[in-house]
Amino acid sequence: MKFREYYVWLKKNWAKTGLVVSIFLFVFLFFLVKDRDIVLFLLLLQTPLYMLHETEEYVFPGGFGKFFNRDIFKLETEDKPIDENFIFSVNIILVWILLPTFGLLSASHYGFGLWIPYFTFFAGVAHIALGIKAGKIYNPGMIVSILVNIPVGLWTVIILVRNQVLPNIFPNIHFFIGLGVNLVLPLIGVVLYKKHLKSKTS
């Protein structure tokens, strides 16, 4: 297969692949990292757990993009402005590249990855906020948010404070970085929304 064919395949199957990768990473981290370095384990753990979150958003039951377009932006279309290209780009860059990269950098210095559990926590809270805004009991990603992202993110921060890796739960710079990364996503969404409306009127 040529690079282009690999890219097309990944673009279509990245979320399903993420489920398999998340299981592998969890087993690897649990047996080879957990007992050696609990802090590094917790920081790296955020990546496979977030891949599980993506599985609910885009595979089982999936449809997060449609939910955002229809129930948050109140548009009739299901695939614009939050489309397949945007979803693929954001998740690959953020979850498949940035999270594991900064997690691995934490092996040399914990400071590189201390924002990650805050990001995980706020990403979970965001799904609750989106559900409230949309007036929906459920949106794709909410179950993993409530059962995994929020409690594990918070638990990780508490463990980091107890191990004196973080000075406190709040306020600290890592808190604001994790929050800031989450806020960038809806801001990009608003830009796409305005561009979409403009394209319809032009």
DSSP 110-164: GGGTTTHHHHHHHHHHHHHHHHHHHT-S--TTHHHIIIIIHHHHHHHHHHHHHTT
Cα separation, 123 vs 186, whole angstroms: 11
61: left (phi over 0), alpha (psi -120 to 50) or beta: alpha
Taking the C-alpha atoms of residue 58 and residue 141, their distance in angstroms, rounded to an integer, is 8
What is the b/e burial string over 115-146, where b = at least 16 CB atoms within 10 angstroms of the residue's CB? bbbbbbbbbbbbbeebbeebeeeebbbbebbe
In the chain, the N- to C-terminal Cα span, in Å, equals 41
Give the span between the Cα atoms of 30 and 187, in whole angstroms: 36
Query: 38 exposed, middle or buried (CB, 10 Å; 0-12, 13-18, 19+)?
Result: middle
Other CB atoms within a 10 A radius of the CB of residue 159 amount to 16
Parts of the chain with a pLDDT under 70: 1, 202
Q: Is the peptide bond before 167 cis (omega within 30 degrees of 0)?
A: no
Distance separating alpha carbons of residues 13 and 129, to the nearest angstrom: 28
What pTM value is reported for the model?
0.94
Closest CA to 69 of 83, 58, 56: 83
Radius of gyration of the chain (CA): 18
